[in-house]
């Protein structure tokens, strides 16, 4: 059997969230520890770009004096957002936002769906859209070892994770970062890591057994060299609208 390639993995992720986005969204209304990290950093008037925003629930916990834009490829997820939450179609490979726009770029539970061949480019895209001196807050999910299905021809860190809801059974592609691989991904000249490690429901933890995610808070020092102006159709400003 021919090993599954990156294109097929990306399509599998897109298909899952398009087909199961509505039922998945119904389980995604709780409070994430990453939300608190965002709220601790934000100042009045800041702009927030939420990449892989799902149903836009981050917007619901933000102060009213910040500007929010959620980028989400799944129309099912975007359709589940509350009225008034600004959402836009797009994915991490081609964010429809100009360089250096966000005071804070959030990316929660998205990078685990990015194959290793594309992880550096995904990180650079998050850097690109963030202002110099702005912050990136990102997490990646650490699934439990139960019911994980290896993917033939891929690395030991890549797996299918089953999902069942509304009588539908499906599976998601997940890349499981070790803490060292996560630190390696975020070690680059364009950013300064302010904190990196394990997260659980109540915040940072040193206990890997309690960890639900790996997380990072990083300050952008220089814009990524990877410019993607060709994808700006149209370019968006995250400035407060009159």
Mean pLDDT of 35-59: 94
- Give the Cα-Cα-Cα angle 193, 30, 202 (nearest 5 degrees): 45
pLDDT at 225 over 80: no
Beta carbons of 138 and 107 less than 8 angstroms apart: yes
- The pLDDT tens digits of the residues spanning 148-191 come to 999 999 999 999 998 876 677 888 999 999 999 999 999 999 89
With b for 16 or more beta-carbon neighbours within 10 A and e for fewer, the 98-109 pattern comes to bbebbbbbbbbb
- Listed by start position, the domains of the chain span 6-223
Percent of the chain clearing pLDDT 90 (strictly above): 69
46-55, 92-101, 123-132, 227-236: least confident range? 227-236
pLDDT band at 128 (very low <50, low <70, confident <90, very high): very high
Q: Which of 183, 116, 186 is nearest to 155 (CA)?
A: 116
pLDDT at 66 over 80: yes
pLDDT at 33 over 50: yes
Beta carbons of 137 and 215 less than 8 angstroms apart: yes
pLDDT value, residue 145? 75
pLDDT value, residue 110? 96
Domain 6-223 CATH (choose: 3.40.50.970, 3.90.340.10, 3.40.50.150, 3.30.420.270): 3.40.50.150
């Amino acid at each position: 059997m021919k090993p599954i390639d990156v294109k097929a993995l990306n399509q599998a992720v897109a298909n899952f969230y398009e087909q199961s986005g509505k039922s998945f969204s119904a389980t995604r209304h709780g409070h994430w520890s990453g939300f608190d990290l965002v709220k601790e950093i934000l100042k009045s008037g800041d702009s927030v770009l939420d990449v892989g925003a799902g149903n836009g629930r981050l917007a619901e916990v933000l102060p009213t004096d910040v500007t929010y834009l959620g980028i989400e490829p799944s129309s099912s997820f975007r359709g589940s957002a509350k009225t008034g939450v600004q959402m836009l179609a797009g994915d991490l490979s081609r964010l429809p936002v100009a360089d250096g726009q966000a005071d804070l770029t959030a990316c929660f539970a998205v990078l685990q769906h990015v194959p290793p061949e594309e992880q550096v480019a995904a990180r650079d895209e998050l850097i690109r859209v963030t202002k110099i001196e702005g912050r990136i807050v990102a997490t990646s999910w650490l699934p439990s070892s139960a019911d994980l299905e290896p993917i033939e021809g891929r690395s030991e860190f890549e797996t299918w994770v089953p999902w069942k809801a509304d009588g539908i059974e499906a599976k998601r592609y997940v890349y499981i970062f070790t803490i060292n691989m996560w630190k390696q991904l975020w070690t680059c000249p364009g950013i300064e890591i302010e904190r990196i490690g394990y997260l659980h429901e109540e915040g940072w933890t040193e206990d890997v057994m309690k960890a639900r995610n790996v997380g990072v808070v990083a300050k952008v020092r220089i814009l990524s060299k990877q410019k993607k102006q060709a994808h700006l159709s149209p370019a968006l400003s995250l400035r407060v609208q009159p």
